[in-house]
Amino acid sequence: METILQASRITKYFREPDPFKVLNEVSIDIKKGEFLSIAGKSGCGKSTLLYILSTMDTDFEGSLKINDKQLKGWKQNQLARFRNENLGFVFQFHFLLPEFSALRNVMLPALKLGKFPAGEIESRAIEKLQMVGMDMHARKSASRLSGGQQQRVAIARALINEPLIIMGDEPTGNLDKANSSIVFDIFRKLSQDNHQTIITVTHDPDFAHNSDRIIEMQDGMVVSA
């Protein structure tokens, strides 16, 4: 299987309040279609690593290749476009835009990409909402949905541009058991049926154990892959 993401010798310092090495020459290869969990204790640097992989954090040493593109050194706007087209995000706090409907939230990244006309984007968005079982709430304002529902909408939003990789930062961290398993099942299905690459950072041991591969981190280093 081809490698979709290759991070090599990634080192990162926190400068405030005292200089501190969060990541120490971390290297990982992720294959296409893998469902990967990054696990580890609080403060081990797993989230920091994820934000570097997500291209949002550009302040690091080492190299990051996604889909054979060397992303180190790109400008912010180029990276934004790259994220828009190739990456999907699911965060611990669902981060929907509260003023917009669920449907509109899902549509926004696609409208930004502008690859399809608005009508087609809408039908695609409804399709994605169906996939996460939220199509009946499509017209509701995002602020009126429950936490679990919001997270499912956030997953639909992450999927809208058919990204290469979906990244999750504790996607179930803020959810109860029932909702956690719904979210996990959605990820599982995406990985099995669509061969979607998924990288999640998680505290939840069940979630981690049920994924394809676990990367254990400790003190800024990968201890087992």
Partner 1 sequence: MNWTLAFGISVTHLITKRKQTLVAMMGVMFGISMFIVMISFMTGVNRFMEDVAMDGSPHVRIYNPVQVKDETILSGTDNHKSAWLVVHHQRPKNDLPKIKNAFMIAGKIEKLGAVKGVAPQVSSQVFFNNGPIQVSGTMSGIDVRKQKEFFNLESKMQSGNLDDLLRSADAIIVGRGLAKKMNVEAGDRVSITTPQGNTLVLRVAGTFAYGLSQFDDAKSFASIATVQKILMRDPSYITDLHIKLNDYTRAKPVAKEIREQFKIFTEDWETANSSLLATNKIRNAMTGIVSFTLLLVAGFGIYNIMNMNIVNKMKDIAILKATGFEGNDIVGIFLLQSVMIGFTGGLLGILLGYGCCSLLAITPFPEGEFFRMRTMPVNFDVKFYILGLLFGFVTTLLAGYFPALKAARVDPVKIIRG
Q: Within its chain, how far is the Cα of 141 from the centroid? A: 23
Question: Residues near 215 by Cβ (< 8 Å), separated by ≥ 6?
Answer: 28, 36, 37, 38, 39, 222, 224, 225
DSSP per-residue letters across 121-147: HHHHHHHHHHHTT-GGGTTSBGGGS-H
Return the residue of 100, 133, 210, 221 that touches partner 1, per CB under 8 A.
100
77 or 224: CB nearest partner 1 = 77
Binding segment for partner 1 (CB under 8 A), chosen from 32-40, 98-106, 179-187, 197-205, is 98-106
Residues in contact with 77: Cβ distance below 8 Å, sequence separation at least 6, in sequence order: none
- Name the CA dihedral angle for 159, 163, 169, 171, rounded to a multiple of 10 degrees: 20
Is 164 one of the binding residues for partner 1 (CB under 8 A)?
no
With CB under 8 A as the contact rule, the residue among 81, 140, 188, 213 that binds partner 1 is: 81
Interface map 106-145 toward partner 1 (x if CB under 8 A): --xx-xxxx-------------------------------
Q: Does 3 bind partner 1 (CB under 8 A)?
A: no
- Closest to 170 (Cα-Cα) out of 44, 50, 54: 50
User: Binding to partner 1 by residue 192, rule CB under 8 A?
Assistant: no
According to CB under 8 A, which one of 83, 124, 137, 152 is a site residue for partner 1? 83
* 56 makes contact with partner 1 (CB under 8 A): yes
Residue recorded with tokens 């291209």:
55
* Contact window for partner 1 (CB under 8 A) among 34-42, 64-72, 82-90, 214-222: 82-90
